Amino acid sequence: MLITIVSSIWSRWGSKMNQKGFVFNPNRCLGCRSCQTACSVNHNLPPGITLRKVTAIELAMEGRLLKYYLSSSCNHCLNPECFRLCPNHAYRKRRDGIVVFDEGKCKGCGTCIRSCPFEAPVLLPDTGKVIKCDLCFAKLEEGEEPFCIGACPVGALKLFDPSEHHEHLLLKVLPGIPRIQVTRPAARYHPLKIGKQVGLQLPNHTMMKEGSSNDSS
């Protein structure tokens, strides 16, 4: 009986090995917002509504200003609060770990919006219902990339693939990102490297760059 229950929960939530999620490389991101635009256009989102955000991060570190761009979306958490707290059971976590949303069950109560620490669900003003990144799972099932990944001109966004990415070399958070791990976000990040796209602002306002300026790791 216990084995059956554990097996049911494992199937419902997905395992760490098959959990899909985004991998972001800040050392490549140009801040061009191509990913954000592609997502909004292909999902026919109204102006001002986006499921992916590109943010300029500025963080004081040891008397210097660390600067880089961050592209973020739903983290498809292993323990998603939206799934747990939605009173209408509009959320579902697939076997591959993708958190999907059923608009037909949504009553527009906003519980998921308030509970998500990453502000992934957003309310559509014209329908009064929520929408959220679903990692373009329909495209994945056809062997295609999510719109945001395909639109990035420098390959800063990828889908996590154990054959391409060594998880022990990736980070769960970056400096300037809230260290909220209770939901176990599936997103992973390449470590920051001071270079072409990541810089330290010195007190005299000159940019310090170390290493190769064309580092694309």
Residue 179 has pLDDT above 50, yes or no: yes
Shortest CA distance to 130 belongs to which of 146, 113, 117, 114? 113
Residue, of 173 and 62, whose pLDDT is higher: 173
Cα separation, 175 vs 159, in Å, equals: 21
> Percent of the chain at pLDDT above 90?
69
Average pLDDT for the chain: 86
DSSP 150-176: HH-TT--EEE--TTT--GGGSBS--TT
pLDDT band at 7 (very low <50, low <70, confident <90, very high): very low
Shortest CA distance to 91 belongs to which of 119, 111, 73? 111
Mean pLDDT along residues 16-33: 90
Shortest CA distance to 105 belongs to which of 79, 124, 86? 86
* Chain-centre distance for alpha carbon 113: 16
Residue 199 has pLDDT above 60, yes or no: yes
Per-domain boundaries in the chain: 17-78+134-208
Q: Which ranges of 110-202 would DSSP assign to H, the alpha helix?
A: 111-115, 137-141, 147-151
Residue 63, pLDDT score: 81
Q: Give the residue carrying structure tokens 């060594």.
A: 166
Beta bridge partners of 61: 64
Residue 201, pLDDT score: 72
CA torsion 38→39→41→47, rounded to 10°? -120
Residue 41 token pair: 């256009």
Most confident of 5-9, 57-61, 103-107: 103-107
Residue 174, pLDDT score: 94
CATH numeric code, 17-78+134-208: 3.30.70.20
Residue 161, pLDDT score: 75
Mean pLDDT along residues 69-90: 97
Shortest CA distance to 43 belongs to which of 119, 101, 109? 101
Residue, of 14 and 128, whose pLDDT is higher: 128
Residue 5 has pLDDT above 70, yes or no: no
Shortest CA distance to 75 belongs to which of 34, 26, 135? 135
Residue 188 token pair: 């992973």
* Gyration radius of the chain's alpha carbons: 18
Secondary structure (H, E, C), 9-78: HHHHHCCCCCCCCEEECCCCCCCCCHHHHHHHHHCCCCCCCCCCEEEEEEEEECCEEEEEEEEECCCCCC
Residue 43, pLDDT score: 95
Least confident of 9-13, 20-24, 163-167: 9-13
